[in-house]
Amino acid sequence: MPQLLVRCFSISLDGYGAGPDQSIDHPLGLKGETLHTWMFATRTFHTMVGKEGGATGTHEDFAARGFENIGAWILGRNMFGPVRGTWPDHLWKGWWGDTPPYHTPVFVLTNHARPPLEMKGGTTFHFVTEGIEAALAQAKEAAGPLDVRLGGGVSTIRQYLRAGLLDELHIAQSPVFLGAGENLFAGLDLPALGYDITDRVPTDATTHLTIKKQR
C-alpha cells in the first residue's frame, strides 16, 4: 500500500531541522548546512548537483533509498523558495535551477495560488492552497501505486505528524547543536500520536533513525 514518507531529514541533537534567519543566502538558516554533512559526500548527492563520483556505504544507502519507489513529493512553501506572502511575479522557480532533483509531480503547500510550473527532467510544481490533506490526496493520485515523499520543511512535517498522516520517517540526527531555529518535535507527543523508533544505525557523522506509525 502506498505510504507517506519522510526520507533523509536531518536534525541537530537539540532537535532543530533548520537554523534561524532563513534567507536566500542561508536557505537552511544559520549553521543549518552543518546538519547535512553526512549527505554531501554521497553518490546520490553528487548526482543531484551534477557532479560525478561520490561515496558509497551506509550514508549512500540511506540517501539512495530516499528516492526509491517515489511517485510524487510534497513540500512546504519555504522548501520551494524564500518568497513570502503573495507572489510578486513567477520568476522564482525553486532552489535547484532548471532541472530539480524530484523528477515527479511536486505539490507545494501555500496560501497563495500560482499556476503549475513545469521544469526539465520530469518535475512539475503544483501549488496547493487547500491544506495538507488536499495536498496528500493530490500527491497520492499522481503517484498511483508508488509512495509519496514529504520533503519538509519542519513546519510541514509537524503538521502531518500532528494529523497522524505520516507512515514513516527517516531522521538523521547529526552531532551538532544549533541552539535556535525550527524544532521538529517540540510540543509533540509522538508515542501518543502512535509513533515509535523501529531502527537505529549510528555512524561517526550522524545517527540514522527510523520512526514508524504503529497501526
State residue 60's pLDDT score.
96
State residue 1's pLDDT score.
84
Beta bridge partner(s), residue 170: 210
Where is 141: in which H helix or E strand? Answer: helix 132-143
Average pLDDT over residues 86-90: 90
The CATH code of domain 4-213 reads: 3.40.430.10
pLDDT in tens, 17-43: 988 877 778 877 788 889 999 999 999
Residue 83 pLDDT exceeds 90:
no
Beta bridge partner(s), residue 197: 211
Three cell numbers, residue 57: 556505504
What is the rounded distance in angstroms from the CA atom of residue 202 to the CA atom of residue 209? 8
pLDDT in tens, 53-67: 999 999 999 999 999
State residue 23's pLDDT score.
76
Question: Rounded to 5 degrees, what are φ and ψ at 197?
Answer: -80, 125
Peptide bond into 152 cis (omega under 30): no
Amino acid (1-letter code) at residue 14: D
Q: How high is the mean pLDDT of the chain?
A: 94
Helix pair angle (154-162, 132-143), 10° resolution: 90
Amino acid (1-letter code) at residue 35: L
∠ CA 34-37-41, nearest 5°, is 155
